[in-house]
Each structure stands twice: as C-alpha cells, then as structure tokens.
Structure 1
Amino acid sequence: MSDLSFPPLMSGHAVSASEDPFDTACVKATMGCDAGLIVYRLEADHMAAALVFAPEVPLAQAMAMLPTCGVGFQNALGALAPPEVAVHLEWGGAIRVNGARCGRLRAMASTLDPEQTPDWLVAGFELDLLPQDDDPGITPDRTALYAEGCADVPAPLLLEAWARHTFNWIARWESEGAKPLHAEWRGLVHALGEETQQGSLCGTFLGTDDQFGMLLRDPDTTHLIPLSARLETSS
C-alpha cells in the first residue's frame, strides 16, 4: 500500500532499501499485475520509481512511454524547482540537471521485437538527491538534485507530481498521437545537433523519427537507431 496520492488508474507500492523498484516492477508485470502500478523507493540520498504499462500497440509505438516518463519528470521538477533550474534528457537515458547528469530513465518489456505487442512494458527513473562523492570536483559531470538549488523539493512531492504529469502526457498521447509529445520532448533533448556516441556509432545527432528513433549522421550515411534499442534485458 502507499500513503502517497496518485492519479486515477495508478497505484503505489513502496519497496525496502534492499529492493530495486525497477526490478520489482518487472517481476510484478510478468506476474500479471494491473497496469498503472508505480513501484518506488524514497531515501534520503536517492529516489527511484517504475511504472507498469500494458500496451495495446506494437513495441515500436509503445516505446513512446519512455520519453513520456521523461517529459513527465521534467514537467514535475519544473513546477517544483526554482525557475533557474534546467532539466534536459539524453536520448540514451540520462537525466541532466543544470547540465550535469543527475539520474537516468530506464525501460524493459516482455519482448524486444518492435513489431510485436508486448504483454507488458516498464519505464521509470532514478535520481540522486545528494552527491555520491564528498568532493564534487572529482566527477564534474555528475550532480545531485539537492546540490542544484532544489533542497526544498521533497521526494514524495516530486514523485506524486511525476505521476500526475506522466498521466497527463499518456492521455494526450492516446488522444492526440505522438506529435505533441514529440514537440515537448524535442525542446528538452540534450546534445541535439552535436557529435554523439551511441554504442559503436559516432556522428551528429540530427533528431529523431516519429517513433523517437535516433537519427545519427556520420560522414557516410544517416543511421536510424530505434528507441527499442534502449530496452534493458534481464540478466
């Protein structure tokens, strides 16, 4: 059970410090839990949450739920943090706050086949609230939420806001398609137009196709990397 307030059709399940909310959500999804379950863990220095989906479209389309969760996070933090705090999203999953990496987005599904409709899809995020190192100069590309002027943003409030904003974007995606989500996400994506490394490929990040696949231009050709390539696999 959860003491937090979530939108209709969503429910919360808190886990202990020894559990990974993402792993637990995937296990519950394979066991047939209801869609809309949010598994989460809130600690003094770290927070994480994962949302279970039951897609009714092929995986290639359902992967839109990953940027949906990212846009929902940015909207939630944008509403709670001071206005000078900037949040950007890497196509590869990292969440950046004021330019430095602060957390990441994750996803896993029951299939890796883009043409198959998955039985379930889990997407979520994790976020550092306090620095992992006493000397932030050692890792200048890493930060923590409370080190970026957000010490007055309580983790429970941020989680509730993330759920609400994500719920709203899911509703828009269902009623209006991917275009509004794509437009919102494009304004948040990190390194657009810059040299980017993705796996063994390196090139200029031109943007994405209508299913959020990365368009990466090297001297010879433009590569399309489907968003489903971001899916994690069970060990």
Structure 2
Amino acid sequence: MTTGLPDLPTAFSPVIALREGGDALRRAVELAPQHGAGTLAWVRSVARIEAAVVLEPELPLAAARPALFAAANALADALGAYGPAEVAITLGWPSTIHVNGGRIGRARLAWPHGAAEEAVPDWLVVGIEARLTFPAGWEPGHGLQQTALREEGWAEEDVSAAELTAAWARHLMAGLAEWQHPGPQGGFRRLADRYLSRMEAAPWMGEARRGLDPATGALVLEQDGTRRLHPLAAALMEAA
C-alpha cells in the first residue's frame, strides 16, 4: 500500500493512512498491541496535520512520559524547517504548539489502561495535530489566540501535510535517539533543554526558574528557595 509520505525511514512500519476525519492517535492505540514499535498512523488532509507513532519504551511509565516532549520538539523542528525564518514557534505547558503567539495544535500521548507508574508499559503512542487552514466561513475573532499554518506563511505550494508529517516522523526519530544516548550531546538533559528553550512562560509560573524532572517529566519551578512540582500526568489528564 502506498503510504503517501515522502522520505520516510524504514523504521516506521506499517504506515497506515486514514481518511479525512480519522483519529490517528486512536488508530495507533488500536494497532499497538499487534504491530508494536514503529507503527505510524496519519490522516490524509488538506486542512490539518495529524499523525501518531507507537513506541516500546524501556523505562517505567512515569519516566517514559517525556516522550511527549520529544514529539512536541519534533513538530517544532519540522515546522521550522519549512516555515518562514521570522516566525516564532513556541510550546505551552505541557504540549501545545504556538506560532507567533497563536495556538495551532498540540502533541499527544497515550498508554495502556491501568498501566502502573513504576512498571515498563507494553507500549506508548505519541501523536501530533496541527491546523493547516481554518474551516470554510471562519472569520477573524472566532477563536482568540488561535491561528493556522497557512495564515502564518506555510504556503500550500511550498509544503503539504504529507511532507510536514514525514518531517515530524524523521525529527521524532532523531529526538528519541538523542534522549536514549546519555552524554554531553544527548540524554534527558538535552531533551529537556530543547523543550524548555521553546516553552512559553505562563503567568502562573511567575519568574521561577523552570526545569523538568527526569524521573516523571514534571515541570519544576524554583523561586526564592521554594520548589514546586507540576506533574506531567496530571497536566495530560487536564488537557484530555
């Protein structure tokens, strides 16, 4: 079957193309027990980017959830490779994607129901979704602080949803490999630094110094000798 995705690494197999309206994350979750790591589901669409990949982590669930940050970083990298040089691509806690201050999408994460925090899960699924264009009839002001890639300079004649999806998959593979190889140029610190360098400071964060807990992916805020933790698992449940 033709995947419709250009220049996709062979590690991604099988590749499942869904029709407009499909849910890539849900489909990848359905396929995860049978097909395992590398399964990629994506949605053929002219209006949005949506894709998800099955992973088989070697870490306990709590420590494996930062795969979400790798997915968000990869989307930012993919957009940066194809978009105008002057646009600002930023991340909101825990995984929203903003372009020039407007929200265009998010990274997503799923894991087996009932999986224990301290146990290695059979699989994880990371996914992304981003708005290419607004629906027909959309007028400015309908959605405050929202935008679409076509509105911000990602021209249809320059890049397609398929090309951006494939770019995300390639950057995701690179980011996960970097995370899995500790050292001066890799490991969790590198993953965290890349994420934090793009993360927008929300008002509730104040002037605190920001970090990520490698054991859980929690956001760590430190100010005036006080240390506050914002669990990643809780943030994902709130965003669901």
- Fold equivalence (TM over 0.5): yes
1:222, CA displacement in angstroms?
4.0
Is 2:209–2:223's contact at 8 Å kept on the other side of the alignment? no
Structure 1 pair 43/213, CA: closer, same or farther in 2 (3 Å)? same
Equivalent of residue 168 in structure 1, options 156, 166, 174? 174
Q: Deviations over 1:165-215 (max 9, x none)?
A: 111111111112211111111111112xx423xxxxx86664233323113
1:112, CA displacement in angstroms?
5.1
Distance in 2 of aligned mates of 1:229 and 1:140: 25
The aligned counterpart of 1:83 is: 85
Distance in 2 of aligned mates of 1:216 and 1:19: 38
Q: Deviations over 1:1-32 (max 9, x none)?
A: 41323213113211122421111111111x33
Structure 1 pair 159/113, CA: closer, same or farther in 2 (3 Å)? same
The aligned counterpart of 1:94 is: 96
The aligned counterpart of 1:157 is: 163
2:200 counterpart SS class: coil
Structure 1 pair 230/114, CA: closer, same or farther in 2 (3 Å)? farther
Equivalent of residue 126 in structure 2, options 110, 123, 126? 123
1:154, CA displacement in angstroms?
1.4
Structure 1 pair 120/231, CA: closer, same or farther in 2 (3 Å)? farther
AA aligned to 1:28 is L
1:93, CA displacement in angstroms?
2.1
1:145, CA displacement in angstroms?
0.7
2:41 counterpart SS class: strand
Deviates more, 1:204-213 or 1:122-131: 204-213
Distance in 2 of aligned mates of 1:112 and 1:224: 22
Q: For structure 1, which runs of at least 5 residues remain unmatched after alignment?
A: 197-201
The aligned counterpart of 1:114 is: 117
Matched, 1:195 2:197: no
TM-score, length basis structure 2: 0.85
Matched, 1:49 2:54: no
1:156, CA displacement in angstroms?
1.0
Equivalent of residue 178 in structure 1, options 182, 188, 191? 188
Matched, 1:148 2:140: no
Is 2:208–2:223's contact at 8 Å kept on the other side of the alignment? no
Q: For structure 2, which runs of at least 5 residues remain unmatched after alignment?
A: none
Distance in 1 of aligned mates of 2:68 and 2:38: 14
TM-score, length basis structure 1: 0.86
Structure 1 pair 204/119, CA: closer, same or farther in 2 (3 Å)? farther
Distance in 2 of aligned mates of 1:148 and 1:122: 29
Distance in 2 of aligned mates of 1:112 and 1:207: 29
Aligned-residue identity in percent: 35
Number of matched pairs: 226
The aligned counterpart of 1:199 is: none
Structure 1 pair 232/195, CA: closer, same or farther in 2 (3 Å)? closer
Matched, 1:139 2:143: yes
The aligned counterpart of 2:220 is: 215
Q: Hey, which bits of structure 1, 4+ residues long, moved more than 3 A?
A: 202-206, 216-219, 230-233
